């Protein structure tokens, strides 16, 4: 899968989004807004693997635009498994959800995924403290 072409590696999420053409740009802005609406204090955005990502007790998730789809990446590899029923309309792999460039995932689904990823990270952090 080829990513949308960029002349330079972006340093910020804003730089990444500025280099993404429509309709992917608008789609990713909606995805980002849904993610940001449920992030806890201490979560930060960054560029990692050349894509926008969110850190919270480690890498939480990422998202990206490609020529023929957009993707949301659950960085744990275990996040999507329990949500098979919610994701049956989408192309998925172990940690990736692919969706149409002009049709973002529903905000309610994104929020559910982010909250599940946060719970997973909190549980791992708590287990490490024991």
Q: What is the pLDDT of residue 124?
A: 86
Q: What is the arrangement of strands in the sheet containing 91-92, beginning at the earlier edge strand?
A: 44-48, 51-55, 59-65, 70-74, 96-99, 91-92
- Map tokens 């992030």 to a residue: 39
- Map tokens 């990270």 to a residue: 121
Note whether 10 and 45 are within 8 A (CB). no
Q: What angle do CA 39, 45, 46 make, to 5 degrees?
A: 155
Tens place of pLDDT for every residue, the chain, 130 residues? 445 544 578 999 999 999 999 999 999 999 999 999 999 999 999 999 999 999 999 999 999 999 999 999 998 888 888 899 999 999 999 889 999 999 989 999 999 999 999 999 999 888 887 6
Largest CA distance in the chain: 48
Q: Compute the half-sphere exposure of residue 63: CA atoms within 13 Å on the CB side of its CA.
A: 27
- Provide the token pair at 39: 């992030």
Determine the Cα–Cα distance for residues 61 and 79; give it in Å rounded to an integer. 10
Q: What is the pLDDT of residue 3?
A: 53
Q: Which CATH architecture has domain 13-129?
A: Alpha-Beta Complex (3.90)
Helix/strand/coil for 22: coil
Whole-structure pTM over 0.85, yes or no? yes
Q: What is the pLDDT of residue 127?
A: 85
Q: What is the pLDDT of residue 111?
A: 97
Neighbours of 26 (CB within 10 A): 14
């Amino acid at each position: 899968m080829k990513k949308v072409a960029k002349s330079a590696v972006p340093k910020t999420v804003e730089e990444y989004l500025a280099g993404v053409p429509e309709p992917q740009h608008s789609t990713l802005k909606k995805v980002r807004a849904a993610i940001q609406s449920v992030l806890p204090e201490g979560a930060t955005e960054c560029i990692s693997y050349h894509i926008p990502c969110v850190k919270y007790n480690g890498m939480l998730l990422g998202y990206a635009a490609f020529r023929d789809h957009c993707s949301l990446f659950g960085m744990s590899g275990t996040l999507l498994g329990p949500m098979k029923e919610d994701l049956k309309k989408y192309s998925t792999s172990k940690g990736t959800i692919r969706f149409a460039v002009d049709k973002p995932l529903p905000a309610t689904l994104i929020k559910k995924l982010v909250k599940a990823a946060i719970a997973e990270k909190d549980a791992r952090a708590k287990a490490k403290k024991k």
